[in-house]
Chains A and B, each alone.
Chain A
Amino acid sequence: MIFINETVASLRQKLDKKEISARELTQSYLDEISKTDVNLDSFVTVCTETALKQAESAQKKIDGGQALPLTGIPLAIKDNICTEGVLTTCASKMLDNFIPPYSATVIEKLSAQDAVFLGKTSMDEFAMGSTTQTAFRKKTKNPYDTEKVPGGSSGGSAAAVSAGLCAASLGSDTGGSIRQPSSFCGVTGLKPTYSRVSRYGLIAFASSLDQIGPIARSAEDCGIILNAISGFDPHDGTSSKKSPEDFTAKIGAGVKGLKIGIPKEFFSDAVDTEVKEAVLKAAETYKSMGAELVDCSLPSLKFAVAAYYLISSAEAASNLARFDGIKYGHRSEKGATFNELVKNSRSEGFGREVKRRIMLGNYALSSGYYDAYYGKAMALKQRFREEYKAIFEQCDFIITPTAPNTAFRMDDNITDPAKVYLADICTVTVNIASLPAITTTCGYDKTGMPIGMSLVGNMWNEAQIIGACDAFEKTFTKISPKGGR
């Protein structure tokens, strides 16, 4: 049985009505993974035995009338989120054998609901990339066209949801890594407000920008999962102490009377015409539902990619300094001295893109360049926050393309790092300004690849953008992918 069109919400009903058992559901997904993932390479590790045990345990809760929203729901987890006793590679040779001694807080929270973990999904190495082609082992393919990239860095998580290999998944987003692959794979992805979800156990890339979030088949599912994973965590000094709230509260509320901003800079010539047309058509759909469209502006957008790469690479260079081959991770066979051992371990363990980011980060932070690069990027961070503040004084949320283009072929662009970086223009300011954003499919290009639109809200306004996204999804007919079948 294939569950490609089933949402978490619909599976909940099937489980609670005993139309299917948690074990049958889990086994069905495992069978699909075993049959089709050979064509997609979305999973790095599949946890067959533990998933079936978790399903048995979940079934007892369901039978006892104690089911929570995610009890017995089979999920996939990005391979940079630590899972105790389960290989967590970050898609890097550096962590090819790393088995974490503890689980991330998000995993503990999902386990508390008796969710089922099907396995760990591939990604760009250390979450640095937008194609999932920098992965050490599994270079994931797009379920709509296996000759095209799934996006990245959470490409495995997005492809697995899209192809019906899991009910939903977790990804992480530092500059668009949940939203862009969700857009490319035709699914819904939510990047929560910075600090909404604990980062404890997320292998750090850029600590001031990283955030874990859900990838699912609907906005409602994203809300259900955010309800489960959000909240204060004493293990994460940056996690918010805000009271829990129901992120599905505005499902079904519609958009009547809401003001939706259309920032002109996101609709420049750098964005494909088909993408622009589909997103603007979606804005008109909102207007027909009673929303008001408002022109607005983010004047500094042209500096966004540079500011993002300077800040994220500077933080990455610091975060990745911990990989020395001594305590965990790849240890070189060569190196007579401590210094040689560390250098050889890092040079053998990291891939080319990770090395580029470490080099860029150290360059931006080094003496003589700090003020001109890192200092200016931090000043731009403040400017983006001010510009977004002005926008949210006029609008409830904004609508933008999620990416300037749809998924491209494996051999296009991806060898030119500068071109790849520039394609992040539509997503990076959200992370820089700590905002929440959700992407969903709003059309298909002439080759049948999904087009994504993003709704960006003010800080802490996830419920509103989830509600608005749901309103659009209810008017839109999705086309399922072949899914590598």
Chain B
Amino acid sequence: MDIQTFENVAELGKLTFSEEERGTLLADMNEIVLIMDTVKDVDITYDPILDNRNRYLDSLREDISAPSFETEKILSNAKASDGCFTVPKVVE
């Protein structure tokens, strides 16, 4: 994994790293990717039909309205709440 790929993947995961963390993690990732690379040698292809045939998740529940959580309870774990979830301004 090169540094550019590392930065792209970090952006996808919404993570930032210090210089020191980046060095250590990049070294770890390269060691881990060596293990992951072993799957490249296997000459097989994923068959989505086979996966669907083995499905035992056979139905969805009825679309019936049911009581939901109280707003107060849902907001109780949000640090910045004033009757709603608050975020930094996103529109100029």
A binds B: yes
Residue numbers in B under 8 Å from A97 (CB-CB): 77
Q: Quick check: is A366 within 8 A (CB to CB) of the other chain?
A: yes
Q: Mark A299-320, 1 if CB is under 8 A from B, else 0.
A: 0101101110110000001000
Query: Known contacts A101-B74, A238-B57, A336-B88; is A309 also within 8 Å of B35 by CB?
Result: yes
Is B87 in contact with A326, judged by CB distance below 8 angstroms?
yes
Interface set, chain B 1-28, CB cutoff 8 A to A: 1, 5-6, 8-10, 12-17, 21, 25, 28
Is A358 in contact with B13, judged by CB distance below 8 angstroms?
yes
A411 to B90, CA, bound (A): 46
Is A306 in contact with B74, judged by CB distance below 8 angstroms?
no
Q: Could you say which of B8, B15, B35, B61 has the most chain A C-beta atoms within 10 Å of its C-beta?
A: B15
Q: Mark A328-362, 1 if CB is under 8 A from B, else 0.
A: 11010001111111111011001010011011111
Q: B17 → chain A, closest Cβ, in Å?
A: 7
Question: What's the interface size class on B, roughly?
Answer: 35 or more
Is B56 in contact with A363, judged by CB distance below 8 angstroms?
no
Is B76 in contact with A337, judged by CB distance below 8 angstroms?
no
Is A378 in contact with B46, judged by CB distance below 8 angstroms?
yes
Is A310 in contact with B36, judged by CB distance below 8 angstroms?
yes
Determine chain A's interface SS by DSSP, over half rule.
helix
Q: B28 → chain A, closest Cβ, in Å?
A: 5
Is A338 in contact with B32, judged by CB distance below 8 angstroms?
no
Contact partner, A101, options B38, B50, B76, Cβ 8 Å: B76
Q: Quick check: is A408 within 8 A (CB to CB) of the other chain?
A: no
Residue numbers in B under 8 Å from A339 (CB-CB): 14
Is A331 in contact with B13, judged by CB distance below 8 angstroms?
no
Is A382 in contact with B51, judged by CB distance below 8 angstroms?
yes
Is B16 in contact with A344, judged by CB distance below 8 angstroms?
yes
Chain A residue with minimal CB distance to B38? Answer: A306
Is B35 in contact with A418, judged by CB distance below 8 angstroms?
yes
A164-172, A270-278, A369-377: which one contacts chain B?
A: A369-377
Q: Quick check: is A195 within 8 A (CB to CB) of the other chain?
A: yes
Q: B30 → chain A, closest Cβ, in Å?
A: 10
Is A379 in contact with B32, judged by CB distance below 8 angstroms?
no
Contact partner, B28, options A102, A342, A350, A356, Cβ 8 Å: A356
Q: Quick check: is A237 within 8 A (CB to CB) of the other chain?
A: yes
A340 to B88, CA, bound (A): 9
Query: Known contacts A195-B56, A359-B13; is A337 also within 8 Å of B44 by CB?
Result: no
Residue numbers in A under 8 Å from B79 (CB-CB): 325, 331
Is A359 in contact with B25, judged by CB distance below 8 angstroms?
yes
Contact partner, A343, options B16, B31, B69, B90, Cβ 8 Å: B16
Q: B23 → chain A, closest Cβ, in Å?
A: 13
Q: Mark B73-90, 1 if CB is under 8 A from A, else 0.
A: 110111110000101101
Contact partner, A363, options B1, B28, B31, B45, Cβ 8 Å: B1
Is A418 in contact with B32, judged by CB distance below 8 angstroms?
yes
Is B10 in contact with A327, judged by CB distance below 8 angstroms?
no
Residue numbers in A under 8 Å from B36 (CB-CB): 306, 309-310, 360, 364, 373
Chain B residue with minimal CB distance to A234? Answer: B61
A238 to B55, CA, bound (A): 10
A342 to B11, CA, bound (A): 11
Residue numbers in B under 8 Å from A240 (CB-CB): 56
Contact partner, B80, options A101, A331, A418, Cβ 8 Å: A331
Q: Quick check: is A244 within 8 A (CB to CB) of the other chain?
A: no
Q: B7 → chain A, closest Cβ, in Å?
A: 11
Residue numbers in B under 8 Å from A325 (CB-CB): 79
Residue numbers in A under 8 Å from B40 (CB-CB): 372-373, 376
Residue numbers in A under 8 Å from B6 (CB-CB): 359
A305 to B39, CA, bound (A): 10
Q: Mark A408-435, 1 if CB is under 8 A from B, else 0.
A: 0000000011100110000000000000
9 CB contacts below 8 A, A to B, read: A101-B69, A102-B69, A309-B35, A331-B79, A342-B14, A350-B15, A361-B13, A362-B12, A378-B51
Chain B interface residues (CB < 8 Å from chain A): 1, 5-6, 8-10, 12-17, 21, 25, 28-29, 31-40, 42, 44-47, 50-51, 54, 56-58, 60-61, 69, 73-74, 76-80, 85, 87-88, 90
Beyond A102-B69, A237-B60, A237-B61, list 6 extra A-B contacts (CB 8 Å).
A327-B77, A360-B29, A360-B33, A366-B12, A417-B32, A418-B34
Please provide the 10 A-B residue pairs with the shortest distance between their CB atoms, ordered closest to farther.
A328-B77, A379-B46, A101-B73, A376-B39, A362-B12, A331-B79, A358-B13, A379-B44, A378-B46, A418-B31
